[in-house]
A and B are shown apart, each in its own frame.
With several copies, the nearest count.
Chain A
């Protein structure tokens, strides 16, 4: 179970390989990469700055990953989240979950993304042709996280 919060880019394929390396009990590897889009809510995005809360960010991500580990029978998990200035096409976040079976790996991976969106202290500021603006939290993200509470 690994959580990394970093400025640097990451290589999803290399991270997936490293998580599976040397094990023969992995039947399923579900992963997610979030990227910066050149347009958001109809506005052009030239750059995006991700602010975070050092210390709490790592603790919040570790808590989310542990919750996933209690809910599903999975083997290991990796979360990498970047901060700092990013450009369209840049990777923001990686979540990889490995397990014996696909259903639990998929569920845990999506759960981690949904909770991360509403629980991890990151904030996005976009540079658009009209100037800079802070991205508003989406109610759809709250809804996505809430469905796991049933």
Chain B
């Protein structure tokens, strides 16, 4: 039984990856936001930004999360640099 998530990238990270979003079938064993981040960084090249960018933030279903936040089928996961509004 596969789990599919929607992944969004914002701001400087979006530009480095040259990608705003994708759909991904989670590989076996990838069940948290932290595991997904490590999996994506494993693609190499620009994707290493996912572990090298300082203080990268993650949101799951539009709420701030952390490395331990669990993922479920249909979740929306967003990665982005620290925010700078206001």
A adjacent to B, CB under 8 Å: yes
- Cβ–Cβ contact A121 & B86, under 8 A: no
Decide yes or no whether B11 CB sits under 8 A from chain A.
Answer: yes
Chain A residues whose CB sits within 8 angstroms of the CB of B63 once the complex forms = 56, 59
Tell me how far the C-beta of A75 lies from the nearest C-beta in chain B, rounded to whole angstroms. Answer: 18
How many positions in chain A have a CB within 8 Å of any CB in the partner chain?
30
Q: Which of B11, B62, B82, B85 contacts A125 (CB 8 A)?
A: B11
A136 to B86, CA, bound (A): 13
The digit string for A104-120, where 1 denotes a CB below 8 A from any CB of B, is: 00000000010011111
Name the distance in Å between A4's Cβ and chain B's nearest Cβ: 14
B10 part of interface (Cβ distance < 8 Å):
yes
Interface string of B58-79 (1 = CB under 8 A from A): 0100111000000000000010
The 3 closest A-B pairs by CB, nearest first: A122-B85, A137-B82, A123-B11
A contact set with B: CB distance below 8 Å: 34, 50-53, 55-56, 59-60, 81, 92-93, 102, 113, 116-125, 134-138, 141
**A-B contact list, 27 entries, CB within 8 Å:** A34-B86, A50-B85, A51-B10, A53-B8, A53-B78, A53-B80, A59-B63, A60-B62, A81-B85, A81-B86, A92-B85, A117-B84, A118-B82, A119-B64, A120-B85, A121-B83, A123-B11, A123-B12, A123-B81, A123-B85, A124-B85, A125-B11, A134-B12, A134-B84, A137-B81, A138-B84, A141-B86
